Amino acid sequence: KPVRDRQRLPVVPQGICREDFLKALDDLRQQIGGEYVSVNDRPLVDGWYMEHPNTHDMMTILDEEEFVASAVVYPGSTEDVQSIVRWANKWLVPIFPISMGRNLGYGGAAPRVRGSVTIDLGRRMNAILDINPEDYTCLVEPGVSFYGLYEELGKRGLQEHMWVDTPDLGGGSIIGNTVDRGVGYTPYGDHWACHSGLEVVLPTGEIIRTGMGALPGSNTWQAFPYGFGPYSDGIFSQSNFGIVTKMGMTLMPNPGGHESFMYTFQNEEDLAPLMEIIRPLRISQILENVAQLRHVTQAIAARGLPRTSFYSSSSSSPSVPITPEEIHAAAAKTPVGDHTWAYYGMSYGPPHIRSYKLAIIDAEFHKIPGCKKIDPSTLPEDEYFFSRDNIAAGVPDFHELRWCNWRPNGGHIAFSPVSPIRGADATKLFQLGKEIHERYKIDFFPAFCVGLREMHLIVEIVFDRDDADEKKRALACLRDMVDEAAKQGYGEYRTHLVLMDQVAGTYGFNDGALGKFNEKLKDALDPNSILAPGRCGIWGQRYRGRGWEM
Ligand code: FAD
């Protein structure tokens, strides 16, 4: 039989015997329909981005059997989601919702507790419920991807009218990305800030609508996010307090023109003065989008070739990092050349508005000696610049996947601390990452994503999924970066399943008061601790103190 068809003994969640678990699954089949419940009893095939698994993390840093689902259920409606939640409470089975499961770098589709039943919301709940061209808003279900919405705007003749903000890869779910507080690269790049209104199934099965959605007959759900009273949306992002079944999103009006630009800067030390220039321009919106300042190593990796193509024979081992000389020799074939940093940005509006802003940017950036502006007309068509150009104009793209080829069987995991947009902070975080990568002999891929008043440093570690030693070094490197960053006052904006307890622990002000508050909420909302136990370091009472944290 092909590997895909062979059987594997399904995992059973802890706390229930195999016999009862099989009975529970029969009960679930009766409620949702037999064809919509599948047991995870086949080999764990990783597939690729477009055919990703929904049972485990296709880029796992641990053993694949560690964070693995016992079964997957496919609800077709909010009522189905309610039934699944009630079923989980009856049988005390952990459940883990995903919208599409493409959370690569942060755990993919995997549940935190082994043997959880995954609720794959996106497979059947994938309707665009509303697109409002007057208010520039939409209302979507979990299975609507950035690509899906973009294509639908095209079908309705609205692509020129309004833009979808997309992350680097457009195949993720708008809801999945937003509830994990993901980012895109137009002025609407802070997805959580741009959403308006949620429908949520609580862990005990009730449905709530937040903001104006709580007022029957209101036509303002997607236009005013707050409604009246406490603003409850926040507790449904990066948490395990509810399952989002609908979400409103605001869309960007076509600005009437746009123009990408790219500048390179020569020296590693240019980072600090450059950040001092970027901050006031970004806060005053002369630099308008969530732009990226990327290190030259990424310019090479974005070509999609394995690291061995750039190596001399002595350094072809995965535990010998690429040298600065090799990096620059390889970069000679990219527009970054012998420079170290590349800034990708976009200016919006009609030509006269753009030229006003672009002139200021040009004058400011040229205060860094050696700064170069790259003329896009000199670049080949498949140059990475054009992928950034698409994304900053709301056109989904896949080019970014290419750097996963840096290692054979490339998986990746991210370290993503936040700081103000300041030279001193950028330098400290850059040095911290660099030194710890050197400690573990890992190639260093830093990129700063500049928000409005803060920036995320995104450091991706690319590893061979079949190389146990590489994975071990990658994880140790991440753990050290998280701890050492926290000691210097920096915390992660988002993290992988395997690091959630550690990262949550770094937010420890006043003897962990925030964590305790989250536990109180968890126990009140989810008395049986069935929903995504451990997600974001929040464990319900049935799990606490029993050795689940890692
Ligand atoms: P899902 O995997 O469905 O959801 C993410 C998590 O949110 C789930 O694990 C679950 O815990 C929770 N969740 C999902 N749906 C619900 C729900 N309905 N109710 C309650 N909880 C829910 N990400 C960015 O943000 N920006 C980037 O620029 C970016 N670039 C990337 C580049 C590369 C090369 C790769 C490989 C990844 C990148 N990512 C980026 C990470 C990731 O691919 C995206 O964030 C992706 O959109 C997340 O996957 P998803 O949308 O399928 O979400």
356 given a catalytic annotation: no
**55, 125, 179, 192: which to mutate for ligand 1, most atoms within 8 A of CB?**
179
Q: Per residue in 463-498, is it b (16+ CB within 10 Å) or e — as a string?
A: bbbebeebbebbbebbebbbeebbeeebbbbbbbbb
Superfamily of domain 507-550: Vanillyl-alcohol Oxidase; Chain A, domain 4 (1.10.45.10)
Q: Where are the alpha helices (DSSP H) in 156-270?
A: 174-179, 191-194
Does the structural domain 3-120 have CATH classification 3.90.1150.10? no
What residue owns the CA closest to ligand 1's atom 8? 98
Between CA 458 and CA 108 the distance in angstroms is: 17
What amino acid is encoded at 164 in this protein?
A: V
pLDDT confidence of residue 129: 98
pLDDT confidence of residue 176: 98
497 CA closest ligand 1 atom index? 9
What region does 290 belong to: left with phi over 0, alpha with psi -120 to 50, or beta? beta
pLDDT confidence of residue 222: 98
- Of 112, 209, 303, 494, the active-site residue reads 494
What residue owns the CA closest to ligand 1's atom 20? 243
Parts of the chain with a pLDDT under 70: 1-5, 312-316
Distance (Å) from CA 256 to ligand 1 centroid: 30
In the structure, which protein residues have their CB atom closer than 6 angstroms to any atom of ligand 1?
97-105, 107, 121, 142, 167-169, 172-173, 175-177, 179-180, 182-183, 243-244, 400-401, 532, 535
| ipTM for the complex shown | 0.99
Distance (Å) from CA 179 to ligand 1 centroid: 8
Long-range residue pairs from 153-156, CB within 8 A, at least 24 positions apart, any chain:
156/131
pLDDT confidence of residue 9: 84
pLDDT confidence of residue 314: 54
pLDDT confidence of residue 8: 84
Domain boundaries, the chain: 3-120, 128-253, 258-497, 507-550
Classify residue 305 as exposed, middle or buried by CB count within 10 Å of its CB (0-12, 13-18, 19+): middle
Distance (Å) from CA 2 to ligand 1 centroid: 31
493 given a catalytic annotation: yes
pLDDT confidence of residue 332: 86
Class of domain 128-253 (CATH, top level): alpha beta
- Of 188, 344, 384, 493, the active-site residue reads 493
CB 421 within 8 A of CB 275: yes
For β-strands 117-120 and 95-98, DSSP reports them as: parallel
Per-residue model confidence as pLDDT tens digits over 36-52: 999 999 889 998 888 99
101 CA closest ligand 1 atom index? 2
Residues of the chain by 3-state class (helix, strand, coil), percent to 5: 35, 20, 45
Between CA 406 and CA 308 the distance in angstroms is: 8
**pTM given for the model:** 0.96
pLDDT confidence of residue 307: 87
Token readout for 437 is 């990568």
What amino acid is encoded at 369 in this protein?
A: P
Task: Phi first, then psi: give them for residue 65, nearest 5 degrees.
Answer: -80, -5
391 CA closest ligand 1 atom index? 28
CATH number of 258-497: 3.40.462.10
pLDDT confidence of residue 309: 85
CB 199 within 8 A of CB 243: no
Token readout for 297 is 């190593």
pLDDT confidence of residue 324: 85
pLDDT confidence of residue 334: 87
